[in-house]
Structures are given as structure tokens and as C-alpha cells.
Amino acid sequence: MDDLLNEERKIRRLRFVVDFALEFIRTQDIPHDSAMGVVEGVRKQALRLFPGKEETFDLIYAPRFKRLLNEKYKRD
């Protein structure tokens, strides 16, 4: 039971970090390189919470960041 609660806590934390980062990138006047740094920081945090889950991050969260970055910085 404790493991399940801990897993849920980590998932909630990651969702918060991802949502916060997306909103930060969306609303702040920062250069593309800085936005990429934010994304990389979120990825590192995700892998600290869930070691060995790079593929999962790339499937679930990377596309959201890519869409936002393409939209904000007018790239295809």
C-alpha cells in the first residue's frame, strides 16, 4: 500500500512540474534556448523520480513540450 501511495505522489509531483514548466514557457518572454533548458530540467526531474523511464517521458511529455515550443517560437 505504501508503495502505491508513493508512486501516486511521484506521479502528482511530475504532473505539477510538467504543468508548471509548460505554463512558465507559455507566459514568460524567454529565448528558445532558455525554454529548452527548462524542458531538459523537467526531463532530469522526471528521471530522478522514475529512473530508466526515458522512453515513457519521450512518449508522454516530450510531444507536449514540442508542440508548445513550435507554437511559441514559430517552428515546424
pLDDT 10s digits, 46-73: 999 999 999 999 999 999 999 999 999 9
Is residue 11 very low, low, confident or very high in pLDDT (cuts 50, 70, 90)? very high
10 CA to centre of own chain: 13
Domain count, the chain: 1
Per the structure, the complete domain to which residue 66 belongs is given by 2-72
- Written as one letter, the residue type at 23 is E
pTM metric for this prediction: 0.89
Q: Which residue has the cell 532558455?
A: 34
Query: Using CA atoms, how far apart are residues 39 and 67, in angstroms rounded to an integer?
Result: 12
C-alpha cell at 46: 522526471
Indicate if the pLDDT at residue 32 is higher than 80.
yes
Indicate if the pLDDT at residue 76 is higher than 70.
no
Indicate if the pLDDT at residue 21 is higher than 90.
yes
Separation of first and last alpha carbons in the chain: 45
